[in-house]
Structure 1
Amino acid sequence: MNYETFVDKVAQRARTSPERAVGLTRATLETLAERLTGGEVLDLAAQLPRPLQRILKPHPDTEAADRFGAAEFIARVGQRAGVDGNAARNAVRAVFTTLREAVTGGEFDDVVVQMPRDYRDMVEPALAPGAMRR
């Protein structure tokens, strides 16, 4: 999937403009990069378009993931994107669903397995049957 298609799909799913979807995608991926191990960030980035790869850069001194729950994930995305919690949650769902579509199933599963149970509300819409057809 190319960059423009990725952003357009996030915009459609989040019901926002493509311009706004760029910021929401960036905020979500930056936060995801903090939450995943460095190796997993690199594996995920390798399957995404170059502009998204640049966002997913693990810190060179950190292999370990920063352990925080779903509420903190949403708060960080909201702060980065300048949106409220509901808009951040919708954006995260849209980005996760689009990620699932953009990368191999095994790679998406590797990302999801690093998420604790409280992330279910954000990740399960991406796992639902038909999620990739929307």
Structure 2
Amino acid sequence: MRYDEFISVVARRADVSREQAKVLTDATLRTLAERLSGDEAMDLAAQLPSELEAPLTVPDPLAERFGLDEFLARVGDRAGVDREQARTAARAVLAVIHESVAEGEFAHVVAQLPREYAPVIT
């Protein structure tokens, strides 16, 4: 999937403008990168449009351990949205990632997240 299409699908699913979808996608990917091991974040970036590589690049290769509440708080803070908008955005971005990468790669991402993330993983 190309970057423009990725952003358009996120915008439609999150019911936001394309510009807001870019901000929400960046915030979600940066937060996801903090939660995943560095190798997994880079593996994911390799299967997404090149424009999405930067937010998945983290200086620390060790995954941080935080739950869904903290994940949504970080997305919301980065994007300047409330918790419900952060949840909707995270769900939309992760769904588009799921459709954009190999099933095995998405399974590796999900394997690094605790079960409490299920509401945002489709």
Post-superposition offset of 1:55:
1.4
Match of 2:74 among 56, 62, 76: 76
Following the alignment from structure 2 to structure 1, what is the Cα–Cα distance between the partners of residues 55 and 61? 17
SS in structure 2 of the partner of residue 93 of structure 1: helix
TM-score normalized by structure 2?
Answer: 0.98
1:71-97 Cα distance to aligned partner (Å, 9 max, x none) = 000000000000000000000000000
Which residue of the partner structure matches residue 41 of structure 1?
Answer: 41
Which residue of the partner structure matches residue 105 of structure 2?
Answer: 107
Following the alignment from structure 1 to structure 2, what is the Cα–Cα distance between the partners of residues 37 and 66? 8
Following the alignment from structure 1 to structure 2, what is the Cα–Cα distance between the partners of residues 117 and 80? 24
Identity of aligned residues (%): 52
1:102-128 Cα distance to aligned partner (Å, 9 max, x none) = 1101000100000001111111xx2xx
Unmatched runs of 5 consecutive residues or more in structure 1: 127-134
TM-score normalized by structure 1?
Answer: 0.89
Following the alignment from structure 2 to structure 1, what is the Cα–Cα distance between the partners of residues 76 and 61? 25
Unmatched runs of 5 consecutive residues or more in structure 2: none
Could you say what the CA RMSD is over the residues aligned between the two structures, in angstroms? 0.6
Alignment length, in residue pairs?
122
**Runs of 4+, deviation exceeding 6 Å:** none
SS in structure 1 of the partner of residue 53 of structure 2: helix
SS in structure 1 of the partner of residue 11 of structure 2: helix
Following the alignment from structure 1 to structure 2, what is the Cα–Cα distance between the partners of residues 38 and 10? 24
